[in-house]
Amino acid sequence: MIYLPVVILGAIIGSFLNVCIYRVPKDESIVRPASRCTSCGRPIRFYDNIPILSYIILMGRCRYCKAKLSLRYPLVEFINAALYALVLRRFGMDSPWIIAVYFIFVSVLTVIFFIDLDYQIIPDSITLPGIPIAIVLGSTIMPDPFSGDLLGLSGSLTGFAAGGVFFYLVAILGKAVFRKDAMGGGDIKMMAMVGGLLGWKGVLLTTFVGSLFGSVIGVLLIMLKGREWGSRIPFGPYLALGALISLFWGLDIFRWYFHA
């Protein structure tokens, strides 16, 4: 029964994440005004803002103007609820503080995923405060997901350097070789944040998994939708997916790889 309140919490936070995904790239307040229909501008009443259920009851349309509501809203709520359940399943024996940090971490990755997917940016308002927070938490209370031991200051700073400095060098070399930006600044800051919390192994696996998914999906887009080779695609969603896989299954992947 412990999963039920966690899933409900995840869905409620997911509703707030929808606000962040919509407003943060526009530099709008995530607090005021209250949620409104993007078509008619009418405020959404609390009984029409129940995660997932309200979308089903209203059949995906605004109560007032009947405009179609994006399926993105219940999808984000469902994804965040599922991720919270995974955090509890994977780290349920750890302290409540660690669980809370991972709740926030997966929610941040969800926001980054959809913002970068829509706008091809990762806002500094997310990553710049996230970097020092990740280092402080990684240095003091967070475990290394790949060993279970305390990550510690050296582990957190090594992860920060592996994510930030390495990706920065890739961006410089890529621009020198290809004469165009090979890595966005948002990706660099994001990986510095991820490294501060997951350590250098997390950066390594996140980069590998993100690159793998990015390559496969990029080739599929070229084949199925006729996109040109070298066309720009957002890398943040794939890095976010890689970071989630590193968090939940990184230890299992490393054990399988080194004992295969």
- The per-residue pLDDT for 41 is 85
Domain end: 47, 76, 93, which one?
93
According to the model, what pLDDT value does residue 82 have? 98
User: Within the chain, which residues score under 50 in pLDDT?
Assistant: none
* 3 within domain boundaries: yes
pTM of the model: 0.92
109 belongs to a structural domain: no
Sequential DSSP letters for 210-237: HHHHHHHHHHHHHHHH-PPTT-----HH
User: What domain range includes position 234?
Assistant: 123-260
- pLDDT at position 233, please? 75
Structurally, the chain folds into a number of domains equal to 2
- Cα separation, 196 vs 159, whole angstroms: 5
- 80 and 134 in a single domain? The answer is no
Of 93, 114, 132, the last residue of a domain is: 93
For residue 115, tell me if it sits in a domain: no
pLDDT on residue 231: 59
pLDDT score, position 260: 55
Could you tell me if 161 and 222 are in contact, meaning their C-beta atoms sit under 8 angstroms apart? no
pLDDT at 219: 78
